[in-house]
Amino acid sequence: MKKHFIMTTMFTASFYKWSNLSSKGANFKIAAILCSFFILIIPDINGQNLISNPGAESDPTSNGWTIVSEGTNCFGNGNWRINGGLNGFPVAQSGDYFFYPGCGGARNGTQYEVYQDVDVSFFAATIDAGNQTFNFSGYSQVFEQETNDGAQMIVEYRNPGGTVLDYYDTGENNLGSVWTLYTDTRTAPVGTRTVRVRLIAYSRAGTSIDGYFDVLSLCTDNDGDGLCDEVDNDNDGIDDLSDNCPLIANANQLDSDTDGAGDACDASFSVCIAISSLETDVEALPNLPNNTKNFLLGKLNLSREKFEDGNNNATIGNLGAFINKVNAKSPGEISQDDADALIAAATAIINGINSGQNDCDGGSQNLIRPGNNGNPAFDVANHLGLEVYPNPTKGRLNIRFAAIDTKTQVAIYDLYGKQVWMQETEPYQNVLEMDLSLGPFGTGMYTISISNEHGTQTQRVVVNK
């Protein structure tokens, strides 16, 4: 089973927050900085991490975390997070932010806590067979002073009633000025359905509660080697979070309509979008004579027009003429590789039409159906008008839908059906611009869902970071 690794150079330093020295009873004339470098091999948690927002890069309270207790806002922090590298705080172990509870500490060992419940019911069958192993890893550190505060991580394996069946406890970390990595690999007890990840900071000195946490990971580790497994449920050689059809084998990853879902499991790919994508491919062919290009584009344009009119036979006929012309011009005007790709895409569109696909740009064909007085059939999905682009995306994402006079709920679900983000729009608001690099979105496939009083529409999107 393949594993992910990252080799990273880690910089550690002792930082002294000038604004905090007097409050912590220290008397320094200069801030000493102790530096060290070392090479560390750690698992790449980006692909398989089950923890949402594992490094506080977005607001913890909006993305997965529940605050039990926290201090007051200070140094620009809020909701258990702070921007590293400012005001004397250490740089984040990764990214820009890390978990930090704030100021106003009681200085008597009082605990401040935030936690996340990770739903692992997807693995219920292997858990209850006693065969599901998880690996946890996370970093913590504290501020170096005369009496250090504390940082502790506890990982609890719970049944549906909330009973703790087993747990991992890092103990209290009082080591200042260095990010310390903690890891644990264990088999989930039978009956486990939730894994609670708890971050606990202890206030022992000064007004700032200096327990810091960053880069948390919970992943499957069924060979117990301390490294995240690549999950490949359909055994097609492509791990699930990169696979555009994770439960049905499709090693070629063919996606005729470029909607992020592979043809093998795309219940309703858009024929019109697939034809438009094919037109783009033709336009990009190098050194293609204009007469050949115009012929191919003309056949594709006719295919779309006939499909929109509900004339599937004419659509398939024009696509067949397209295939014949590509065959006739290769190799020669069109390279064999390009020809094979064009023919495969056109054939996939024909197969989709023959299997009953009637989707066109998010709506349906203008099919005249009996008993409908000769009017085109009404399609709720077309009425909602969901558009998601670019797709695939490296981070930036635009979500558009029909503007209506009531609120619309927009939600994003991960590969396992877990809701990782949700927002309710105001009436007539119909555009959302998102930066998925700032939230709990690793590389993989997600489902965008919009719901309002007129119905629900979904579309898949692929994130490639």
What are 282-341's pLDDT values in tens digits?
988 889 999 999 999 999 999 988 888 888 899 999 999 999 999 999 889 999 988 888
The answer, yes or no, to whether residue 384 has pLDDT greater than 60, is yes
Q: Is 157 within 8 Å of 164 (Cβ atoms)?
A: yes
Which residue type does 95 have? G
129 CB-near residues (< 8 Å, 6+ apart)? none
Residue 267 CB contacts under 8 Å (≥ 6 apart), including other chains: none
Residue 71 pLDDT: 93
Per-residue pLDDT band at 258 (split at 50, 70, 90): low
Q: What is the pLDDT of residue 127?
A: 93
Distance, in Å, from the CA atom of 130 to the CA atom of 127, rounded to the nearest integer, reads 5
User: In this predicted model, which residue has the larger pLDDT, 157 or 382?
Assistant: 157
Residue owning tokens 């002073």: 145
- DSSP code, position 347: H
**For the chain, what is the mean pLDDT?**
78
3-state secondary structure at position 280:
helix
Q: What is the pTM of this model?
A: 0.50
Average pLDDT over residues 230-243: 68
Given a contact cutoff of 8 angstroms between Cβ atoms, the answer to whether 137 and 216 are in contact is: yes
Give the pLDDT confidence score for residue 233 in this predicted structure: 61
State the Rg of the chain over Cα: 27
Cα–Cα distances (Å) from 49 to 62, 97, 384, in that order, read: 18, 18, 33
Question: What is d(CA 174, CA 126) in angstroms, rounded to the nearest whole number?
Answer: 37
Q: Measured between alpha carbons, how far is 274 from 253 in angstroms, rounded to an integer? A: 15
Q: What pLDDT does residue 177 have?
A: 86
Rounded distance, CA 256 to CA 281, Å? 12
Least confident of 84-88, 91-95, 212-216, 339-343: 339-343
Q: What is the pLDDT of residue 85?
A: 93
User: What is the model's pLDDT at position 232?
Assistant: 66
* Dihedral-angle region of residue 75 (phi above 0 means left; psi in -120 to 50 means alpha; beta otherwise): left
CB 204 within 8 A of CB 120: no
Peptide bond into 60 cis (omega under 30): no
* Residue 227 main-chain phi, psi, to 5 deg: -120, 145
pLDDT for 442: 75
Average pLDDT for residues 188-212, to the nearest whole number? 95
Beta strand pairing call for 150-158 and 133-142 = unpaired
**Domains contained in the chain, CATH given:** 5-220 (2.60.120.260), 268-358 (1.20.1440), 380-463 (2.60.40.3080)
Range among 318-322, 381-385, 387-391 rated most confident: 318-322
Lowest mean pLDDT, pick from 122-136, 160-174, 231-245, 339-353? 231-245
Q: What is the DSSP string of 428-444?
A: T--EEEEEGGGTT--SE
When pLDDT is averaged across residues 190-219 and rounded to a whole number, the result is: 95
d(CA 244, CA 460): 9
| pLDDT of the residue at 234 | 65
> Does the pLDDT at position 179 exceed 70?
yes
Strand arrangement of the beta sheet that strand 396-400 belongs to: 387-389, 396-400, 431-435
Amino acid at the residue 159: N
Q: Residue range 241-262: average pLDDT?
A: 68
